[in-house]
Amino acid sequence: MSSRQATEGRMAALLVTATLAALALAGVYIAGGQPQAEGALLGVSLGGIGVALVLWARGLASEGTVVGERGDLAGDAADEAAVEERIEEVLDEQPGRRSVLRLFWAAGGALGLAAVFPLRSLGPAPGRALLTTAWYRGARLVDVNGRPLTVGTLQVGGTLTAFPQGAQHAGDSQVVVVRVADGELRPRPGRESWSPQGYVAYSKICPHVGCPVSLYQADAHELLCPCHQSTFDVLDGARPTFGPATRSLPQLPLAVDAQGYLIAQADFDEPVGPGFWNRD
């Protein structure tokens, strides 16, 4: 057996092993997955292809320096056809090399197939889940113990954290409710009816990196985020006045129902939380 044939044999064995490992990797994933086994099979498959490539480069791709006369490069369609025909003839004369190339394709294809399956792990598309919260028109505001808030719950200068009734565990829906004196607020256009009797509610999730905005300085009418000291002006739509936050806290439109309970007029009119990719 010549050294070329021996090299081809080793490459064939490596590529067959890589192909089987890639197919086994796909099988393990389909069967439910096992991280250690998947890692080992991926290593075997990639390693087999890699070593085969090295062998190919060192033993088969080159047979030393070949120097050819450049000559006239101009050619016509007949010349091109003749060259292609000659290449095919050369390949046909070297069945070992051609079969090795086929094994390369097989191993690469099997590995590509195995790489497609994990797309399933991305899970379902989020849909509108990132754009909405648990608030809805008519939802009562409740405190941490589930008690509904009424117009008499807070004195001017008071604050508490509230949740939509029935969805107290919805982390993206918690709001900080503040009561200010009538006439102090400077509502933004279109928000004139969002703050009945001085009650105003803002998302509690800091738009910087998501810490809970949990401190209120009543004398300055400022909400503070303890993580990086972002400060928000309660009277001016929770506009950031200090710190790294660059966006206002989303405001929940409030109303008072016939029984005197604080309710939401609707969900937030913008996404809550930090770094939302559709916001400036």
Q: Using CB under 6 A, list all residues that contact ligand FES.
A: 206, 208-211, 225, 227-228, 230, 243-245
* Least spacing, CB of residue 176 vs ligand FES, in Å: 13
* Least spacing, CB of residue 141 vs ligand FES, in Å: 23
Identity of the residue, 207 or 253, whose beta carbon is nearer to ligand FES in the bound complex = 207
Identity of the residue, 165 or 230, whose beta carbon is nearer to ligand FES in the bound complex = 230
Identity of the residue, 59 or 243, whose beta carbon is nearer to ligand FES in the bound complex = 243
* Least spacing, CB of residue 187 vs ligand FES, in Å: 24
For 254, the 3-state DSSP assignment is: strand
Q: Are residues 140 and 165 in contact, defined by beta-carbon separation less than 8 angstroms?
A: yes
Retrieve residue 80's tokens.
């091109």
* Least spacing, CB of residue 207 vs ligand FES, in Å: 8
Cα–Cα distance measured from residue 68 to residue 254, given in angstroms and rounded to the nearest whole number: 84
* Least spacing, CB of residue 244 vs ligand FES, in Å: 5
Identity of the residue, 118 or 226, whose beta carbon is nearer to ligand FES in the bound complex = 226
Q: Give the number of other Cβ atoms within 10 Å of residue 214's Cβ.
A: 15
Inter-helix orientation angle 95-116/35-55, to 10°: 150
**Long-range contacts, stretch 232-236, CB < 8 angstroms, 24+ apart:** 232/202, 234/178, 234/180, 234/200, 234/202, 235/180, 235/184, 235/185, 235/186, 236/186
Report the candidate in 204, 120, 130 with the shortest Cα–Cα distance to residue 163. 204
* Least spacing, CB of residue 235 vs ligand FES, in Å: 20
Identity of the residue, 56 or 268, whose beta carbon is nearer to ligand FES in the bound complex = 268
Identity of the residue, 60 or 227, whose beta carbon is nearer to ligand FES in the bound complex = 227
Retrieve residue 82's tokens.
């003749």
